[in-house]
Chains A and B, each alone.
Chain A
Amino acid sequence: MKEFAQLIMLLATSTKTTAKLNAIVDYFSIAADEDKIWVIALFTGKRPKRSVNSALLRTWCMQITNIEPWLFEESYHTVGDLAETIALLLPERYETENLSDDERSLDWYMQKLMLLGKETDEEKEKFVTDSWSIMSVNETFVFNKLMTGGFRIGISQKMMVNAIAKTTEVSPSIIAHRLIGTWQPGNITFDDLMSTEHSAADNSKPYPFYLAYAVEDDVNVLGNPEEWQAEWKWDGIRGQIIKRNGELFVWSRGEELMTEKFPEYQILETVLPDGIAIDGEIISLAKIEGETFAPLPFSALQTRIGRKNITKKQLTEAPVGLLAYDLLEYNGEDLRELSLTERRKLLEQVVTDLDLPFLHLSPIIDFKDWEALKEIRTKSRDIGSEGLMLKRKTSTYQVGRKRGDWWKWKIDPLTIDAVMIYAQKGHGRRSNLYTDYTFAVKDGDKLVSFAKAYSGLTDKEFAQVDNFVKRNSIEKFGPVRTVKPELVFELAFEGIAASNRHKSGVALRFPRMSRWRKDKKPEDINTLDDLKAILDHYNNQYGNTAVKNDERNK
């Protein structure tokens, strides 16, 4: 555990990717295999379920330290992280006479924690407080994090893959493939995870997704337009549909197995040929019949993915379809080394043969030259897409985010000018600054709150706004401060939907601050009617604009 805590501290303090990578590689060179498996699992989204809830941790900490709840809250708001707050408040190694050092392994703790979920609160308390009593501040922090949630120390799956690749001297793309799938720590050894046999035995395993970079310059730099395939960029969930040995698996890009979430797809288990992997967009469609399809906004899909059980109502109101854009495996064969054009040809054949009402090809956009495509792109929002995808026709299907062959070319976001009315301190890196803001638009002579945003400003701007908040607070409600409505920001957002959960009646998709309008006064901001006009405009478009797929008729 000591080594693991040390690794986390190293990762948390180093600011450079190479330093982090080396820290993991060094750890792998000394750690026991059981511990390595856990480190891989923890940083590739295979963290076990919470075994102790954070309210209990708070209570035990307050009991040990004899601190009142208000003082605990005050401390928590300053630190911005519960695990760290508790680690700082507890007396360090307060029972040092019992055990000089904690020699128990990460694996030992993880096994314990997994069993702890079923134990009584008293037993939980005993285990947790006993553990605290022999830990240093750093160890306590790491231990608390193991119980409460993510580390947020900037370790991506990609970095973990690279570290293992460096340690085992196997290529990163092979490692990436081995790490995904249904393995769990405790039912696999490090050697088995790294061996090729295991990889072949796991039927569910998806391919690592190939991700596009955003177009930064003019698209003209991509060269000859004839070398490029253009498609719409859909606003759903990127997914992979796999059928092997008669079993169907639906994976999201976050490598979450979502097969149960989409009963619409169940028929695929029967009709799909065996040994197939389709890459596509899981998206809600207005109706799932006929040769055309009409995408619904992301908010429609969202009502589905958050739930454990799908209701009949949801199935009728937000039926889910699949817009297929790539074929990665066919007849059990890995097709990723073929060119996009070849893969697409096979995909079209598969989709046409299946002839299913919810399964459509993601249409290829016909365009003469870049200028014509620019014109087409301006229509994206009208058909419910976020912009365009550009893929080189000769491109293979690569691993992860790679520059060069695949590009996303999103449309400019919608914007609105609003005034800041509430502020709250941020978390983690921003725990001492007011960085989370609530914004309002005008409604007659009143202000109506409609969105929260906490990104888009530079650190310097955040410091300036923080300073303003501290000097212009009107009231304090717990962590929230009401501020003088004076600062105007332009908010950018990707979409808008009606919502009865918000006072304003609208919910924005991915709002963020795009500009600090120092040139504008609160009188100059937009009105609620402006917002509603945007809502009406796009809601009328959604579900009504049918997209026709020419390929199906060829």
Chain B
Amino acid sequence: MHLSLKYIVTEHWCNKCINVSMQLIEFTEKGLFCHQGGFYIDPWKPVDKAVITHAHSDHARWGSKYYLCHHFTKPILQLRLGDNNYESIDWHQTVTMNGVNISFYPAGHIIGSAQVRVEYKGEVWVFTGDYKTEDDGISTPFEAVKCNVFITESTFGLPIYKWKPQQQIFDEMKSWIQDNKTNGKTSVFIAYSLGKAQRILKPLAETGLPIFAHGAVYNVHQAFVNSGWDLPLVQRVMSETTKEELKESIVIAPSSAENSPWMKRFSPYAIGICSGWMQVRGNVRRKNADAGFALSDHADWQGLLDAVKATGAEKVYATHGFQSAFSRYLNEIGIEAGEVKTAYGNDEEESSADDKTEEPL
């Protein structure tokens, strides 16, 4: 999918800005670019130097000559992109490129997801990548960073998106599993293999039922386990896994597995989709799911507003999602904001369209 890569700015911003190319971070057709530092952040085309917020496929792409990321992200990049020139750093650690200071702050989206802080001659820009403000108990919790310019995602930038507390959703998931078990059914959760799949493991394990994983989920799981993460045990679904073993168990699969013949082995089963899009009933019905759990790794409306206010930024850019509604609202409440079109938002949760398949692992 190719979006128009030329960026769009609102009038608010145009009036004030004299020369676009003078910005610390520019919006180019390859991605967010820091001219002074000579690096890109989450570029969608191969570049010399790429600073990566997190390992989701729409943010971490193949083909760049050098990648800078957080320690936790490195094993996943290794898994997904193969051998490359990776450098990884810790939270709050600074790397300097041609006088520009780059540092990572937790974004709370998935394990290792970072906001990128870029500082040059006292001017600070922050790009959030994807983030959520609720502590999910597994990702390093989101930290607000003071800055002059804040580039924020806005995947769920409408007031209809209001997440329930995580524990409440987990309880609903567990009671759904019990209902399925009572009816002799296997509970199949559709969850993004990087992020959501790890996040729901602990509550699922609390049921005491065996947890099986699709290969895509299993590979990411193993990469984390191998780098020292203490995650509940999951078993990979193999061709020799028997029907008896799978009966009334829990299965985690990516959305590409939904409606595929791979699912047949679990029959009888019920499908529950874990995604922020499940907030709207129409999406649950359109997906033909038995249950939808509005569990999201993105900030909801209030989370976005809180994050923006906490930065104290003079200028905000909203990108992927409801960027035009969100930036308009910010302007109305007195925060100067513009919108930027990027190529992000093509991973499973961020795109509301159907039939998005994950990249093969």
Which of B1, B158, B288, B354 is the one whose CB lies under 8 Å from A74?
B158
**CA–CA, A370 and B111, complex, Å:** 70
In the assembled complex, the CB of B260 is this many whole angstroms from the nearest CB of chain A, namely: 14
Chain A residue nearest to B325 (CB atoms) is A74
B1, A467: Cβ atoms under 8 Å?
yes
**CA–CA, A84 and B278, complex, Å:** 13
**Which B residues lie within 8 Å of A15 (CB)?**
288, 290
Chain A interface main SS type: helix
> Within residues 290 to 344 of chain B, which ones have a CB less than 8 A from any CB in chain A?
290-292, 322, 325, 328-329, 332
**CA–CA, A466 and B328, complex, Å:** 25
In the assembled complex, the CB of B57 is this many whole angstroms from the nearest CB of chain A, namely: 18
**Which B residues lie within 8 Å of A85 (CB)?**
160
B282, A79: Cβ atoms under 8 Å?
yes
CB of B6 within 8 Å of the partner chain:
no
Chain B residue nearest to A67 (CB atoms) is B159
B281, A463: Cβ atoms under 8 Å?
no
B353, A70: Cβ atoms under 8 Å?
no
Contacts A459-B354, A463-B353 hold; do A13 and B158 have CB atoms under 8 A apart? no
**CA–CA, A12 and B288, complex, Å:** 11
Which of B2, B160, B285, B292 is the one whose CB lies under 8 Å from A89?
B160
**Which B residues lie within 8 Å of A79 (CB)?**
160, 280, 282
**CA–CA, A431 and B158, complex, Å:** 15
1/0 per residue A59-102: CB within 8 Å of B? Answer: 00000010110110011001111001100110010000000000
**Which A residues lie within 8 Å of B283 (CB)?**
431-432
Chain B residue nearest to A91 (CB atoms) is B162
1/0 per residue B1-45: CB within 8 Å of A? Answer: 111100000000000000000000000000000000000000000
In the assembled complex, the CB of A11 is this many whole angstroms from the nearest CB of chain B, namely: 11
**CA–CA, A431 and B280, complex, Å:** 9
Chain A residue nearest to B280 (CB atoms) is A79
A463, B282: Cβ atoms under 8 Å?
no
**Which B residues lie within 8 Å of A84 (CB)?**
280-281
B353, A71: Cβ atoms under 8 Å?
no
**CA–CA, A460 and B286, complex, Å:** 11
**Which A residues lie within 8 Å of B282 (CB)?**
79-81, 427-432
CB of B355 within 8 Å of the partner chain:
yes
In the assembled complex, the CB of A464 is this many whole angstroms from the nearest CB of chain B, namely: 9
1/0 per residue A22-65: CB within 8 Å of B? Answer: 00000000000000000000000000000000000000000001
In the assembled complex, the CB of A323 is this many whole angstroms from the nearest CB of chain B, namely: 40
**Which B residues lie within 8 Å of A68 (CB)?**
332
Which of A12, A65, A92, A433 is the one whose CB lies under 8 Å from B285?
A12
A71, B325: Cβ atoms under 8 Å?
yes
CB of B73 within 8 Å of the partner chain:
no
In the assembled complex, the CB of B22 is this many whole angstroms from the nearest CB of chain A, namely: 31
Chain A residue nearest to B282 (CB atoms) is A431
Which of A78, A430, A471 is the one whose CB lies under 8 Å from B286?
A430
B281, A432: Cβ atoms under 8 Å?
no
Which of B160, B289, B353, B354 is the one whose CB lies under 8 Å from A75?
B160
Contacts A12-B281, A12-B285, A430-B286 hold; do A88 and B162 have CB atoms under 8 A apart? yes
The interface centre, meaning the residue of A67, A427, A432 with most chain B CB atoms within 10 A of its CB, is A432
In the assembled complex, the CB of B67 is this many whole angstroms from the nearest CB of chain A, namely: 30
In the assembled complex, the CB of A52 is this many whole angstroms from the nearest CB of chain B, namely: 21
1/0 per residue B342-357: CB within 8 Å of A? Answer: 0000000000111100
**CA–CA, A68 and B333, complex, Å:** 11
1/0 per residue A463-474: CB within 8 Å of B? Answer: 100110001000
B286, A429: Cβ atoms under 8 Å?
yes
> Within residues 126 to 163 of chain B, which ones have a CB less than 8 A from any CB in chain A?
158-162
B290, A71: Cβ atoms under 8 Å?
no
**Which A residues lie within 8 Å of B286 (CB)?**
429-430, 432-433, 459
CB of A14 within 8 Å of the partner chain:
yes
**CA–CA, A467 and B325, complex, Å:** 20
In the assembled complex, the CB of B309 is this many whole angstroms from the nearest CB of chain A, namely: 16
**CA–CA, A497 and B260, complex, Å:** 46
CB of B279 within 8 Å of the partner chain:
yes
> Within residues 144 to 170 of chain A, which ones have a CB less than 8 A from any CB in chain B?
none
Chain B residue nearest to A15 (CB atoms) is B288
**CA–CA, A15 and B282, complex, Å:** 13
1/0 per residue B220-256: CB within 8 Å of A? Answer: 0000000000000000000000000000000000000
A88, B279: Cβ atoms under 8 Å?
yes
**CA–CA, A78 and B353, complex, Å:** 13
**CA–CA, A432 and B284, complex, Å:** 11
**CA–CA, A471 and B282, complex, Å:** 23
In the assembled complex, the CB of A155 is this many whole angstroms from the nearest CB of chain B, namely: 14
**CA–CA, A139 and B103, complex, Å:** 47
In the assembled complex, the CB of B321 is this many whole angstroms from the nearest CB of chain A, namely: 11
In the assembled complex, the CB of A151 is this many whole angstroms from the nearest CB of chain B, namely: 11
Contacts A15-B290, A463-B355, A466-B353 hold; do A75 and B284 have CB atoms under 8 A apart? no
A78, B158: Cβ atoms under 8 Å?
yes
Contacts A15-B290, A79-B280, A463-B353 hold; do A71 and B285 have CB atoms under 8 A apart? no
In the assembled complex, the CB of B107 is this many whole angstroms from the nearest CB of chain A, namely: 25
In the assembled complex, the CB of B49 is this many whole angstroms from the nearest CB of chain A, namely: 30
A78, B280: Cβ atoms under 8 Å?
yes
**Which B residues lie within 8 Å of A466 (CB)?**
353
**Which A residues lie within 8 Å of B158 (CB)?**
71, 74-75, 78
1/0 per residue A414-457: CB within 8 Å of B? Answer: 00000000000001111111000000000000000000000000
The interface centre, meaning the residue of B281, B288, B332 with most chain A CB atoms within 10 A of its CB, is B281
**CA–CA, A26 and B284, complex, Å:** 23
Contacts A65-B159, A429-B285 hold; do A71 and B280 have CB atoms under 8 A apart? no
Q: Which A residues have a C-beta under 8 Å from some C-beta of B?
A: 12-15, 65, 67-68, 70-71, 74-75, 78-81, 84-85, 88-89, 92, 427-433, 459-460, 463, 466-467, 471
A-B contact list, 15 entries, CB within 8 Å: A13-B289, A65-B159, A68-B332, A74-B325, A78-B280, A78-B322, A79-B160, A88-B162, A429-B286, A431-B280, A432-B353, A433-B353, A463-B353, A463-B354, A467-B353
Q: A75-B160, A89-B159, A432-B280 are in contact. List 4 more A-B contacts (CB 8 A).
A: A78-B158, A80-B282, A81-B281, A428-B282
Q: Which B residues have a C-beta under 8 Å from some C-beta of A?
A: 1-4, 158-162, 277, 279-286, 288-292, 322, 325, 328-329, 332, 352-355
Closest 6 CB pairs of A and B: A88-B160, A431-B282, A429-B285, A75-B160, A74-B325, A429-B286
